[in-house]
Amino acid sequence: MPRHQELPISIDHLRVVYPAADRGSAPKIAVNDLSLDVREGEVFGFLGPNGAGKTTTMNVLLGFVQPTSGKAEIYGKSVTDEAARYKLGYLPELTYYYKFLTGRELLHFYARLFDLAKPEATERIAKVLKLVEMEQAADKPIRSYSKGMQQRIGLAQALINDPKLLILDEPTSGLDPVGRMKVRQIIQRLKDEGKTVFFSSHELGEVETVCDRVGILFNGQLKESGSVSSLISQYHCNLEQIFLKVIGFNGNELNTEAL
């Protein structure tokens, strides 16, 4: 059996370097020798400050960015293989939908992209609407949706092809406490269904609640990883404090004159 065949995500010595923006400046190393595995059926939190390389790594997994060196696989297939992407669903941080469509019409559109037959699409849409608690609003135009409702219909479209792996970029960004709680509940339901969830977030309290394991990225490098419980036991503090320690943040370095 080939190594990592059954792993939802396997990243080996991944390096992504962007060309210099202008003459005289150095190329930007976005991801530097990143190796990371995500196991079947777990919720994995991908953490790091802005500019750490999280989005670039996700874009490699989605086939949007080509690695400079190293490799990334989804269920044993290279991320450059179109077949690998049929096994995943994706929710970007910022969603852009045609606001004149209803939620149900949007889901039918995405179902057609995956060549789902109409009876299968209708059945699948009913299931995902129930999962994200959007049945009552399914036939209302998206322009009438709150931010939380837009995020939940976004999760529904990410699930339309019944993927084994979900990649979510800041799924609770900009949501109020109720919206965050609903997304957290949906992630738990997905885990209960046996799906694997890989997501980035700055909401470390949420991550600590829902994630089995986390990885902390800084300056393109994986600085720490492990189960939430083992990291808390190792560092003797909560995940937010662990995060700050790992990236070397010192609260005393704040410029008090700017406060």
- Quick check: helix, strand or coil at residue 76? coil
Per-chain mean pLDDT for the chain:
89
Instruction: Map tokens 């209302």 to a residue.
Output: 140
> What DSSP state is assigned to residue 141?
B
Q: Determine the average pLDDT of the residues in 212-216.
A: 95
Per the CB < 8 A criterion, the answer to whether 76 and 95 are in contact is no
Long-range CB pairs of 12-15, under 8 A, 24+ apart, other chains included: 12/70, 12/71, 12/72, 13/69, 13/70, 13/71, 14/57, 14/60, 14/67, 14/69, 14/70, 14/71, 14/72, 15/67, 15/68, 15/69, 15/70
Cα–Cα distance for residue pair 234/183, rounded to 1 Å: 29
The per-residue pLDDT for 107 is 96
- Of all residues in the chain, the percent with pLDDT exceeding 70 is 94
Domains of the chain: 40-69+77-258 (3.40.50.300)
Segment 59-88 shows an average pLDDT of 91
pLDDT tens, 200-211? Answer: 988 888 888 899
What's the confidence (pLDDT) of residue 211?
93
| pLDDT for the residue 26 | 87
Q: So what's the pLDDT on residue 84?
A: 83
Please state, in angstroms and rounded to a whole number, the distance separating the CA atoms of residues 255 and 88. 43
- Of the chain, the end-to-end C-alpha distance in Å amounts to 58
For the segment 5-29, the average pLDDT, to the nearest whole number, is 88
User: Is 195 in a helix, a strand, or coil?
Assistant: coil
